[in-house]
Amino acid sequence: MSKKWIFRTRKDGAPTPDSFQNVAERCGVSPRLARILWTRGIERPDQLAEYLSPGLRYLAKPSLWPGIARAADVLAEGLRQGRKLAIWGDYDADGVTSTALALQVLRHHGYDALWHLPDRREEGYGMNARGVEKLAEEGVSLLLTVDCGISDVSAIERARELGLDVIVTDHHLPPEALPDATVLCNPRLADCPCASLAGVGVTFFLMAELNARLAEGGSPRLDMRRTLDLVALGTLADLVDLEGQNRILVKNGLLVLAEARRPGISELKAVSGFAPLASLGAGQVIFSLAPRINAAGRVASAETALRLLCAEGCDEAADIARKLDGYNTLRRQEEERITEEAMAQAEASLNDPALVIAGRDWNQGVIGIVASRLVEKYHKPTLVLCADGDTLKGSGRSISGFDLHAGLSRCADELLAYGGHRMAAGVRVLPENLEAFRTRFIETVRRELGDEPVPAVQLVDGELDFRAATDFVFLKELEMMQPFGVGNPEPVFQSPPLLVKRRRLFGPQKNHVLLELTDESCGITLPAKAWRQAELFPSDLEGRRILLAYSPGIDMYNGAASVDVRIKDWKLA
């Protein structure tokens, strides 16, 4: 492990106070937690209250979101007029949960709607004219997009030609030329409380406003808290920043997920290895529940995942959940095969500052995951491509020091299409242009990053010995910082020198490692675990002293509380 450890500092560059005792007393927390929160820009009592207890009262009013109020008016009027509505979603977890949420609100008020989730292989992402024409043939005159639409200029133009009113709800970056929709709802179109909402977050605010409009006609209002399990699942799956409004939605949504009143959620938790009423953290949703929802769109049809979330009975939901679990197994097998082949190619290009990897028989539903795994291993901007008809379709991931979208724009004349943002992007290229594109892209990265490898960075929140790490009051404070994720990373601490008393591999493949470590400054010994990293801990570590970058927490295995030490990185002391 060759990460560069850097102590976290304030983004605004404010100097660190000599003491956090006053801040801690004002906010009613420990000085240690006050320091962590100060580094993240949270220092006033009102900020801290909202951060640690982000109740639904902190949600922004619908009028503060661009397009929401008008979109609710158009939908409510159209439904009351008896116009046929269709929902066009997306095949990933964000799009599926958005579609399920919209259907739940509509059905509560006695309205049904057609829906369409595009096939990843046949249609690709977003809207298409043929699908719009088919909906028009079925009598649809009102079309709602969720988690897509902001870039679908031609498809929306066709819908308008056919007489459809189109309400777009999306969260992706808008293009320069916006589609001629009836209403555009996208937090990136104007100043609003949270530009980083997931697609399901935008759908939530629109359907909450529509719920109020429809209740004005005498229909009982749906308690929108019942939809927050979907909001949490979709938001976490889409890896958006867990700050502000997203934090409020996810924190409360995890509470609804724990209740598992939705049959599909209960059975999804069961096939993921959790008790139906188990409380889950953000990581467990991201790495266990979300992949099973995403697997449907990657290896089969996203409609299966939608049917799970809309299922009304446990028997039906259990059957679908088992099917999704099987899809996820297939997805993992494909992912492992492609990753192994991709890493073989990468090993032959270790001197290049970037990776452009291609395989003709690779599943395009998993190449984004493979790109992420290559970035994690090699810490280089990476593009993984596979055959898609007569072209190659690729998915890219980057590192913090390189703007992937900007880099691709410098190679645009070698590409048929590209899009995305700083850290992730998609490309399409002709097979005969692949080598020319690879050369151009690698040179683009080399000019910006140089020839020397860019070290990965491990941000550290401070120093913490094992005496402090076993303080359950402090560990409870850390739990209040959840959910952890993008924009709200889990605190990581640097240990004093620790004596390795024991090293043991575990797991079916012996790819996890457990270290028994003693902090000789206080005489406390704790077990520490690293997952899927056994090869990074040599067998001769026993008896040596190391420094640990780690996250402590409370483990409630079998109902008994113990200290859980999760290793993020290590160095010889």
Tens of pLDDT, residue by residue over 470-486, are: 999 999 999 999 999 98
440 phi, psi to nearest 5 deg: -65, -45
Lookup result for tokens 């032959």: 348
35 in Cβ contact with 42 (< 8 Å): no
pLDDT class for 122, splitting at 50, 70, 90?
confident
Instruction: Give the pLDDT of residue 347.
Output: 95
Closest by Cα among 382, 380, 356 to 369: 382
H helices within 183-261, ranges in order?
Answer: 199-215, 228-237, 244-259
Instruction: Give the pLDDT of residue 315.
Output: 96
Residue 363 has pLDDT above 80, yes or no: yes
What is residue 419's three-state secondary structure? strand
Instruction: Give the pLDDT of residue 220.
Output: 94
More confident residue, 218 or 93: 93
Instruction: Give the pLDDT of residue 27.
Output: 85
Instruction: Give the pLDDT of residue 559.
Output: 73
Secondary-structure class of domain 4-53+458-572 per CATH: mainly beta
**Model-level pTM?**
0.92
Q: What percent of the chain stands above pLDDT 70?
A: 100
Beta-strand (E) ranges in 93-179? Answer: 114-116, 140-146, 165-169
- C-alpha distances out from residue 454 to 196, 373, 381, 386, Å: 28, 17, 10, 27
Mean pLDDT confidence for 122-141: 94
pLDDT class for 568, splitting at 50, 70, 90?
very high
pLDDT class for 1, splitting at 50, 70, 90?
very low
Lookup result for tokens 């898609």: 388
Instruction: Give the pLDDT of residue 124.
Output: 82
What is the C-alpha to C-alpha distance for residues 155 and 330, in angstroms, rounded to an integer?
33
| In the chain, where the domains are located | 4-53+458-572, 62-259, 349-449
CATH code for the part of the protein at 62-259: 3.90.1640.30
Q: Which of 87-96, 119-128, 147-156, 187-196 shows the lowest per-residue confidence on average (mean pLDDT)?
A: 119-128
More confident residue, 98 or 217: 98
Mean pLDDT confidence for 235-257: 95
Residue 325 has pLDDT above 80, yes or no: yes
H helices within 450-537, ranges in order?
Answer: 466-469, 472-480
Burial class (CB in 10 A: 0-12, 13-18, 19+), 259: middle
Residue 32 has pLDDT above 60, yes or no: yes
* Average pLDDT score over the chain: 94
- What is the per-residue pLDDT across 36-45, written as a single tens digit (0 to 9) for each? 999 999 999 8
Residue 337 has pLDDT above 90, yes or no: yes
- What is the per-residue pLDDT across 495-539, written as a single tens digit (0 to 9) for each? 999 999 999 999 998 999 999 999 999 999 999 999 988 889 999
Residue 25 has pLDDT above 50, yes or no: yes
Residue 344 has pLDDT above 60, yes or no: yes
269 in Cβ contact with 281 (< 8 Å): no
- What is the per-residue pLDDT across 190-234, written as a single tens digit (0 to 9) for each? 999 999 999 999 999 999 999 999 999 888 999 999 999 999 999
Closest by Cα among 130, 137, 127, 122 to 87: 127
CATH 3.30.200.20 fits 349-449, yes or no: no
List b or e across 314-338, with b for residues whose CB sees 16 or more CB atoms inside 10 angstroms: eebbbebbebbbebbeebeebbebb
